A and B are shown apart, each in its own frame.
Chain A
Amino acid sequence: MPVEVILPKVDMDMETGTIEAWHVKEGDLVRQGDTIFEIGTNKAVMEVEAPATGAIRNIRAETGVPISVGTPVAWIYLDGEAATTPSEPAAAAATVAAATSVSKTEVPATPAIAVAQTSSGLRATPLARRIARQNGLDLKTVAGTGPRGRISEADVKRHLEQRPRCAPAQETRPAPAPSANASEGRLRPFSAIRRIVANRLSESVRTAPHFYLTSEIEMSAARDLLGRLAKRHERIGAPKPSLTVLIARVAARILRDHPVINASTEGEATRFHERIDIGIAMERDGDLVVPVLRDAGAMDMPAMTREFARLREGMAKRTLTPAELGGGTFTISNLGMYGVDSFTAIINPPQGAILAIGRTVDKPVGRNGEIVLRPMASFTLSSDHRIVDGVAAARFMADLREALENPELLL
């Protein structure tokens, strides 16, 4: 019997995944352990290895379409096995094969045609169609778990739960027709990560009423402390601490006193998190990723520095699990190293706030009636006004200033 290749579950709470790219094509010979496709979850991209050695047949999953975990996406025929379809009608297999060949086109020159071919093969139950209709949902974006990929009520509901706050108007908007100059320039389809980020941030902007508080904070004491910590870390064999980690450490400390900032929206309720998990916004190959310092409130500086280094290395090597790349309770985004003075960040939903940090630069400030130069940095807190009020955010910023300017008070 041919060996089934399924879309694997690679994260604990994962229900669907998207095949980011196939590394093999119909008929290719693969060895067990070869990477055969990349899978994007809502948190990360993972490589999937061939479960057996043989020929890939009946590739039936398209790239870019969410698929429920456990769905067979191809079969591997062992040496000598007749290449008949094992459990699928020949016609269905042929349809899938055709669709796959379209999706394998490097850059679809005629995306409209590709879409049309996909939608004509769409299988969905009447109930699934009805719910999709009511929610303005395009079923092409939903993964079907039923026979021959049929989309059921459960598939649609799962899909809607994953993107609960998407405005229907956006969903029903038809795919834009290729513009007149469509052939100009280069068209790169969104990666799975890009699509996830795009959806989450669009959703955040559409649904979370943002407001922003900016504080200029003197960084003299923090710099001194960072210098002292570097020496200590060298002594104890810990990596050199960065300003970002220090700020994360300080934030983790004061968040204990500001539960409303370490909170998320959940429907029409506020979820106050007991643990402080701080996400650090980072860039990898042009994509935004947010590894999480899990239980940051319980870490001392060396531990946090080590964990941050591990995350950064894992990210570069793509060894992080989806769990390590999502699920924070508060996010820090530092663009100071790129020379940015100040900026406002978009909240990473369902979190309630994000802290944006600009560069530290000497600025003239008044001290004891005199104008003096001090290293100053701009901190901007974006808050979701549904759960965070201005005064609460301001108190957090005040504590942040006090802690950064007088870090010994944290001891």
Chain B
Amino acid sequence: MPSDTLEAVSEIRELSYAEAVREALAQAMEADERVFLFGEDVGVYGGAFGVSGDLVHRFGKDRVIDTPISELGIAGAAVGAAITGMRPVLEIQFSDFVTLAMEQLVNQAAKIRFMFGGKASVPMVVRLPGGSGTGAAAQHSQSLEAWFAHVPGLKALQPSTPHDAKGMLLAAIDDPNPVLIFEHKLLYKTKGHVPAEAYRVPIGKAAIRREGTDVTIVGSSIMARKAEAAAERLAGDGISAEVIDLRSIRPIDFTTIAESVRKTHRLLVVYEGVKTMGIGAEISAMIAESEAFDFLDAPIIRLGGADSPIPYNPVLEKAAVPQEDDIVTAAANLVRRGEA
């Protein structure tokens, strides 16, 4: 749905996550002619997940560019355009395909500014639909964001609400650095309040979705939403959970997490990426190294993806990533028994 028809509606209008992303893209392109979109099937097809939608008709095929299936090539093209004055927004059709583009993102985009002594910047945005839950199996369902959070020079975001999806994309387009935005495919149809104006959500600031006193649940992407739902159930059970939506994993808002842990004394980290060597490991270690350590009254618990590729069978697929029930159980056990 074109966003300008929605702008007439009052300030409490709701958009889907995908519509919010599209609106951000449209507003960025309207405001800045340096901004252009490209990627596989983002034109007439409207994007594999319908995110770019009708934008090619509104902005033309010179600014909404279908590319060959050449992930490395298009990632490099984004780098080249960015260092020469453009503001490219690239869509990697499935985040899994970013494996083909690693060279350009990791060796080039992330390092050019540093290698050149600060004399260049790479203001590019890469959008990466990812995550499981669609029956797309092992090569189309991964959550690889932690890989990129490991690379200095990149920024990695995981907005979980339509509001943040729009605000963080606009902030990312403004940002003079390469920013990767991991969009969970299951979130695209979720709805939420999205202001009509072109607002920004600051990069690197986590959101406290719910205040609580007994346990801090840090979630990223869709897991932040599941954590919110879990917290509601926990409240009915007499447990007051504080839910922090990470939103950005590089830079990571360690202060907000640490302050929360100092208050609740318990930490549960939930993320869809493989648990081993994942986001949770980093957050746990940061707490362990920090002053907040002395405020822990229980071990830090991580809920993450299984040490398994994402399976096709829907039962197995659910079992491979944390579910709301898992969060409720883990948080309740952590509070009541001091272990998950």
Contacts and interface: CB of A to CB of B under 8 A. Distances in A.
A128 interface: yes
Nearest to B339: A147
Interface string A122-144: 00011111100000000000000
Interface in B283-333: 293-298
Nearest to B299: A125
Chain A binding surface, main DSSP class? helix
B263 to A, nearest CB: 11
A139 to B, nearest CB: 14
B265 interface: yes
B338 A126 contact: no
Contact of A126 (B293, B337, B339): B293
A125 B337 contact: no
27 contacts: A125-B265, A125-B296, A125-B298, A125-B338, A126-B293, A126-B294, A126-B295, A126-B296, A126-B297, A127-B294, A127-B295, A127-B297, A128-B297, A129-B294, A130-B295, A146-B298, A146-B337, A146-B338, A146-B339, A147-B338, A147-B339, A150-B338, A152-B297, A152-B298, A152-B338, A153-B297, A154-B297
Nearest to B294: A130
Interface of B: 265, 293-298, 337-339
A147 B297 contact: no
- In this complex, which of A125, A128, A153 has the most chain B Cβ atoms within 10 angstroms of its Cβ? A125
- In this complex, which of B295, B297, B298, B339 has the most chain A Cβ atoms within 10 angstroms of its Cβ? B297
Contacts of A130: 294-295
A153 B215 CA distance: 14
How many residues of A sit at the interface, in one of the four size bands? 10 to 19
A125 B292 CA distance: 12
Contacts, number: 33
A277 B337 CA distance: 39
- In this complex, which of A129, A147, A154 has the most chain B Cβ atoms within 10 angstroms of its Cβ? A147
A147 B297 CA distance: 12
Chain B binding surface, main DSSP class? loop
- In this complex, which of B293, B294, B295, B339 has the most chain A Cβ atoms within 10 angstroms of its Cβ? B294
Contacts of A129: 294
- In this complex, which of A126, A129, A147, A150 has the most chain B Cβ atoms within 10 angstroms of its Cβ? A126
Contact of B265 (A127, A146, A150): A127
Nearest to A125: B297
B174 to A, nearest CB: 40
A125 B293 CA distance: 9
- In this complex, which of B294, B296, B337, B338 has the most chain A Cβ atoms within 10 angstroms of its Cβ? B338
A-B complex: 9 closest residue pairs judged by Cβ atoms: A146-B338, A127-B297, A130-B294, A153-B297, A126-B296, A125-B297, A147-B339, A126-B294, A152-B297
A153 B265 contact: yes
A147 B294 CA distance: 19
Nearest to B338: A146
Contacts of B338: 125, 146-147, 150, 152
Given A126-B293, A127-B296, A146-B339, 15 more contacts: A125-B265, A125-B297, A125-B298, A125-B338, A127-B295, A127-B297, A128-B297, A129-B294, A130-B295, A146-B298, A146-B337, A146-B338, A152-B297, A152-B338, A153-B265
A126 B338 CA distance: 12
Nearest to A145: B338
A97 B126 CA distance: 58
A152 B337 CA distance: 10
Nearest to B296: A126
Contact of A147 (B293, B295, B296, B337): B337
A150 to B, nearest CB: 6
Contacts of B337: 146-147
A61 to B, nearest CB: 18
A364 to B, nearest CB: 68
Contacts of A126: 293-297
Contacts of A152: 297-298, 338
B332 to A, nearest CB: 14
A150 B337 CA distance: 10
A130 B294 CA distance: 6
Contacts of B339: 146-147
Nearest to B261: A127
